[in-house]
Amino acid sequence: MTQRHRTGAAAGGLAAALTALALLAGGCTEAAGGVRGTPGAAGLRDPYFPKLGNGGYDVRHYALTLAYDPASGRLSGTADITARATQDLSAFNLDLAGLTVGTTTVDGVPAAANRAGNELTLRPREDIRKGAEFRAVVAYAGVPEPLTDPDGAREGWLRTADGAVAVGEPAGSMTWFPGNHHPSDKAAYDITITVPAGLEALANGARTARRTAPDGRVTSVWHTPEPMASYLATVTIGHYETTTERPPGAVGTPPGEETPTGSPGPSVLTAAERSLAARTAALRAEVPGIVARQERLFGPYPFAVAGATVVADGTLGYALETQTRPVFPLASFDRTTLVHELAHQWFGNSVTPASWRDLWLNEGFATYAEWLYGEKYEHVPARKRFETAFAQEANWAFPPAEPPTADNLFDAPVYQRGAMVLHRLRETVGDRTFDEILRGWLAKYRHASATTADFTGYAEDVAGRDLGALWAVWLYGDGRPSAP
Ligand code: ARG
Ligand code: ZN
The 3-state secondary structure of 229-278, one letter per residue: CHHHCCEEEECEEEEECCCCCCCCCCCCCCCCCCCCCCEEEEEEEHHHHH
Question: What is the residue with the minimal CA distance to atom 10 of ligand 1?
Answer: 153
- Ligand 2 centroid to residue 337 C-alpha, Å: 8
Nearest to 400, CA basis, from 317, 318, 472: 472
CATH topology of domain 32-346: Immunoglobulin-like (2.60.40)
0.75 exceeded by pTM: yes
The pLDDT assigned to 223 comes to 98
Ligand 1 proximity of 365 Cβ (cutoff 6 Å) = no
What is the pLDDT, as a whole number, of residue 263? Answer: 64
Q: How far, in Å, from the CA of 169 to the mean position of ligand 1?
A: 7
Ligand 1 centroid – CA 321 distance (Å)? 8
Q: Ligand 1 centroid to 105 CA: how many Å?
A: 35
Residue nearest atom 3 of ligand 1, based on CA coordinates: 320
**Domain extent listing, the chain:** 32-346, 352-475
What's the angle, vertex CA 432, arms to CA 427 and CA 438, rounded to 5?
A: 85
**CA 408–ligand 2 middle distance (angstroms):** 14
From 155, 169, 344, 345, the mutation candidate for ligand 1 (largest count of ligand atoms within 8 A of CB) is: 169
Residue closest by Cα to atom 8 of ligand 1: 169
The rounded Å distance from CA 345 to ligand 1 centre is: 14
Distance, CA of 362 to CA of 374 (rounded, Å): 18
Write the CA distances from 143 to 70, 159, 197, 295, integer angstroms.
10, 10, 20, 41
Per-residue pLDDT in tens (0 to 9) along the chain, 484 residues: 655 543 333 444 444 444 444 444 444 444 456 899 999 999 999 999 999 999 999 999 999 999 999 999 999 999 999 999 999 999 999 999 999 999 999 999 999 999 999 999 999 999 999 999 999 999 999 999 999 998 899 999 999 999 999 999 999 999 999 999 999 999 999 999 999 999 999 999 999 999 999 999 999 999 999 999 999 999 999 999 999 987 655 444 555 555 455 667 889 999 999 999 999 999 999 999 999 999 999 999 999 999 999 999 999 999 999 999 999 999 999 999 999 999 999 999 999 999 999 999 999 999 999 999 999 999 999 999 999 999 999 999 999 999 999 999 999 999 999 999 999 999 999 999 999 999 999 999 999 999 999 999 999 999 999 999 999 999 999 999 999 9
The architecture that CATH gives domain 352-475 is Orthogonal Bundle (1.10)
Quick check: CB of 410 below 6 Å from ligand 1?
A: yes
Contacts with 300 (C-beta within 8 Å, 6 or more apart), sequence order:
261, 262, 263
Measured from the Cα of 362, ligand 1's closest atom is 1
Cβ(320) to ligand 1 under 6 A?
yes
Distances, alpha carbon 479 to alpha carbons 11, 289, 400, 416, in Å: 35, 39, 11, 14
Ligand 1 neighbour 153 (Cβ under 6 A) = yes
Residue whose Cα lies nearest atom 4 of ligand 1: it is: 320
User: Could you tell me if the CB of 127 is within 6 A of ligand 1?
Assistant: no
Residue 257 has a pLDDT of 59
Please work out whether the CB of residue 318 comes within 6 Å of at least one atom of ligand 1: yes
Give the ligand 1 atom nearest the CA of 344: 4
Cα 128 to ligand 2 centroid, rounded to whole Å: 39
Residue nearest to atom 6 of ligand 1 (CA): 320
Ligand closest to CA 418: 2
> Maximum Cα–Cα distance for the chain, whole Å?
70
Q: What integer pLDDT is reported at residue 245 of this predicted model?
A: 85
Residue 278 vs residues 94, 146, 284, 450: alpha-carbon distances, Å: 42, 30, 10, 40
Nearest CA-CA partner of 268 in 322, 338, 325? 325
Whose atoms come closest to the Cα of 410: which ligand? 1
Q: Is 149 in the pocket of ligand 1 (CB under 6 A)?
A: yes
Ligand 1 binding pocket includes 415 (Cβ within 6 Å)? no
